[in-house]
Every structure is written in C-alpha cells, then in structure tokens.
Amino acid sequence: MITVIPSLTFPLRFLDFLGFEAHIRNMRKARNLPAAETETFLALWRKEPAYFELALSKRQIYVQDQPVSIPSFVEKPDYEFEIGCLLNKNAVLNMSEQEAEKFFKECCDLTILNDLSARDFQEKDRILGMSVSRSKGILGKAIGPVFLPAKNMDIYNLKLTLKINHEIRSQTTYSTCFWTFPKIIHSLSHQNILLEAGTLLGSGTIGGGSIAEHGGKYPWLKNEDLIEMEADGIGILRNTILRPDP
C-alpha cells in the first residue's frame, strides 16, 4: 500500500465511532441478538460516543483507484462505508456545543472512508473479550478521493450511495447519523480527550453500509470486486479488490 496523501501525517491517529443507529440494529439483528438486549445497548450508546482507536501507517492506507489487497488468511473481508473527518487544528478541552460546531466547520476537512474489516478476526476477538482493533487494522483503510473543508459542505443533507460491482446496496443521508462530528468533538472534550491536528475521525458505518449487516445475503469480498462509495459534493471513492486464491 504505497501512497502519499498530503493532508495526512503518519502514524495516523484514527478514532472510529458508532454513529448510525441503523447500522447497529442491522448488525445485532444479523447476529440474532434479542430485541430487548439491543434496546439496552442503544440506551447506553446514546449517552456517550463509543469508538476504537488505531495508529495507521502509510502501508495501511489506500487511495482512489488503488487496488485493495486482501491477505489469503482473511476469510471474511468486509467493507464499511463511512465519512471521515480530518482535524487541521488542535481542539481544546471543555468545549460548549456551539464551540464544537464552530470548530467542526472552521477546522475540519471531510472525505469518504472505507473502514475495511476482517469479520472472522472480529468474531474471535469478541469471544476473547478483546477490542476490534486487530480486525480493523489487518486490512487497512481506503480514503478519498479528496478532502474538502467542512464549512463548504451541507453535511447534514449529504447523500450517500454504496455500489458493489455497479449494484446499489445502500442509499441514505448523513442526517441519519446520531453521533455527528460536532457532537463527538463536544463529548470527547469533556472526557479529557484532546483531539490534535492530524487526527482522523470516522463517522461509523452507514445503515446497510457493510456486508455483515445483511445476514448472509451477500458474499464476503472476493477478487475483482469493485467498491464505489459516493458522497455528493465529495465524489466517489473507488477501489478494486485483489484477493489471492486460498
């Protein structure tokens, strides 16, 4: 994965959140979890943003039209359609909601993010009581095609379309996001978590934005699959899968 993205510095601090309720419901339904347990989970999720953190190297980042190489030992490779938010200035602690909104508009750039995931490793680590970091780091991330200033975009009406091999699999808008970037920035600032310039935030997967959500309807990523993630105003993040035979 050799690439240079001028807007990024490495190692890249990446915080990925659970922003979309539809994704959570779909994932838990696909795992046949009880409805009451899901409601308990969502009640906690609405109180504060949940996330994992990675430090990504250049080798773990793919850009527009760059083939994504899937190691043969990964049995369940998956895509995850997200919006990425890159901080170009340091945030401060104890922001008000208004300050967080202003910081987002004036000090953040937006892009499309494919949070590639190894679901078989995620299943193992869930059983072992470990975080999802391993399953999220093995395959790297695809980012692009450009970074655009948040102040120039109407993100809350941002239309999002996911296509695999030209077939539409999900269409939604960013307005369906519960933990928006300003809410995230505000909440973390009150948890003594300092977000510094160069940090990349992931919105979390949109509803229907991954294979795992569909409960076996679609196969895991295979060789030559074309992934197209489109966000109006940003463009299309396009990558083809390279997966050797097992």
What is the Cα–Cα distance from 191 to 170, expressed in whole angstroms? 34
What are the Cα distances from residue 94, in Å, to 97, 184, 188, 191? 10, 12, 8, 8
Residue-level pLDDT at 244: 83
φ/ψ (deg, to 5) at 204: 95, 160
What is the Cα–Cα distance from 93 to 107, expressed in whole angstroms? 15
Torsion of CA 208, 212, 213, 219, to 10 degrees: 70
**3-state secondary structure (DSSP) of residue 119:** helix
- Condensed to tens digits (0 to 9), the pLDDT of residues 13-70 reads 999 999 999 999 999 999 999 999 999 999 999 999 999 999 999 999 999 999 999 9
238 pairs with which residues across the strands?
228
**In which band, very low, low, confident or very high, does the pLDDT at 4 lie, cut at 50, 70 and 90?**
very low
**3-state secondary structure (DSSP) of residue 126:** helix
Q: Which of 164, 153, 147, 154 is nearest to 241 (CA)?
A: 164
- Condensed to tens digits (0 to 9), the pLDDT of residues 90-128 reads 999 999 999 999 999 999 999 999 999 999 999 999 899
Residue-level pLDDT at 176: 98
What 8-state DSSP symbol labels residue 71? P
- Condensed to tens digits (0 to 9), the pLDDT of residues 127-140 reads 998 889 899 999 99
CATH topology of domain 12-242: Fumarylacetoacetate hydrolase; domain 2 (3.90.850)
Residue-level pLDDT at 246: 64
What is the Cα–Cα distance from 217 to 205, expressed in whole angstroms? 18
Q: Which of 181, 177, 208 is nearest to 81 (CA)?
A: 208
What is the Cα–Cα distance from 31 to 212, expressed in whole angstroms? 9
Residue-level pLDDT at 213: 98
Q: pTM for this one?
A: 0.96
Identity of the amino acid at 212: A
Report domain extents, the chain.
12-242
86 pairs with which residues across the strands?
109, 200
**In which band, very low, low, confident or very high, does the pLDDT at 5 lie, cut at 50, 70 and 90?**
low
Q: Which residue has the tokens 């895509």?
A: 79
Residue-level pLDDT at 2: 35
Report residue 200 as tokens. Answer: 């990349």
Residue-level pLDDT at 77: 98
- Condensed to tens digits (0 to 9), the pLDDT of residues 189-231 reads 999 999 999 999 999 999 999 999 999 999 999 999 999 999 9
Neighbours of 190 (CB within 10 A): 13
What are the Cα distances from residue 142, in Å, to 32, 99, 228? 30, 30, 11
User: What element of type H or E holds 66?
Assistant: none
**3-state secondary structure (DSSP) of residue 25:** helix
What's the whole-number mean pLDDT along residues 135-152? 96
